[in-house]
Structure 1
């Protein structure tokens, strides 16, 4: 059985539902309430489909390309770490993706579903946390359930976006995003070290 709390926090960090709120507000500016609900539902459905694809097929693709999972785990950990650093020291998720939304005037798909919800960090997390050698089928199902739960939280926050934005403001969303970046950095280092250990065990 997986550690439900740890997996939930991991996905919460990489998906960052609170950081999605200002992005959603920027993307849906000028839409009526019904249109905003539709955009939130479409974005959530698209993001869920993308992440489920990586959870189910991600490792198979790596195997087909002859890439050992420990190597991907190391690379994924490094990418996650760099992603976390960008959340901590660079533009926070809300600041960066609000700017993208305002520049491109897109709605549900870009930048809301990708990369705001189903970003590179979330895709990598789906592959790393459903590794066949480390997790049995039931544990993988549990992991996917936690991922979907975070997406549900993300959807609820989008539906309540106006109220959430009034409570935490842009600065609050930025602070939360940076805290999530710190948590993600710690998880990324753990994954990288686990990948290095697994790689040398296989080599031996």
Structure 2
């Protein structure tokens, strides 16, 4: 197994799905009226929860599949379709994410924003979970450790976008963030198609 190639594949896949730059405007809109210390606490909690969920699925995802009697080939096809849908959602202006986002604003408990909608489903949605399970299924124990490293790097970047969110949004502007998100979505769609073909061919064999 080419561990370096696997690391960059995992990093790219998860980065595109989680989309740290594209989610900056949403994070700012959710936290702009809050105290700076509270924003920092929400950021840390959201990143910790989101990354922990994916790490759990790295090592426990296959057990979940066994319990529900789901084959990795079927998961690849379903996951590929899901990733493709997520990419289309991003390209069309994130209508689904905006729906969850607005629901999250109704929460009375400000601290719960870290859990919903930030950690779930914004930063760890079905697409990220599916991709993690598929990647983990292709890896040995060393590969899974590398996958965990890729997850930590991605959510480390998420944390940095929170810390420097105001500076980044002023540099990129709203249109700049949207352009980056849509370009990344094209790569995500390609990854989804690869999953679909790979899974379908395995089933046919």
Using the size of structure 2 for normalisation, the TM-score is 0.89
Unaligned 5+ segments in structure 2 are none
Using the TM superposition, give the Cα deviation of residue 5 of structure 1 relative to its aligned residue in structure 2, in angstroms: 2.3
- 1:33-182 maps to which residues of 2 (within 5 A)? 33-91=36-94, 99-102=102-105, 104=107, 107-131=113-137, 134-182=138-186
- Which residue, out of 2, 11, 18, partners 2:21? 18
Using the TM superposition, give the Cα deviation of residue 200 of structure 1 relative to its aligned residue in structure 2, in angstroms: 2.5
Unaligned 5+ segments in structure 1 are none
Using the TM superposition, give the Cα deviation of residue 25 of structure 1 relative to its aligned residue in structure 2, in angstroms: 0.7
Using the TM superposition, give the Cα deviation of residue 95 of structure 1 relative to its aligned residue in structure 2, in angstroms: 5.5
**Any idea what the Cα deviations from partners look like across 1:42-68, whole Å, max 9, x if unmatched?**
000110111112222111111122111
CA distance, structure 1, for counterparts of residue 74 and residue 127 of structure 2: 16
Contact residue 80 and residue 121 of structure 1 kept, 8 A = yes
CA distance, structure 1, for counterparts of residue 40 and residue 79 of structure 2: 34
CA distance, structure 2, for counterparts of residue 33 and residue 169 of structure 1: 21
- The answer for the alignment partner of 1:183 in structure 2 is 187
Using the TM superposition, give the Cα deviation of residue 125 of structure 1 relative to its aligned residue in structure 2, in angstroms: 0.9
Using the size of structure 1 for normalisation, the TM-score is 0.89
Contact residue 54 and residue 124 of structure 2 kept, 8 A = yes
Higher mean Cα deviation, 161-170 or 180-189? 161-170
Structure 1 residues 94 and 159: alpha-carbon distance in aligned structure 2, compared to 1, 3 A threshold:
farther
Q: How many residues align?
A: 199
CA distance, structure 2, for counterparts of residue 158 and residue 92 of structure 1: 22
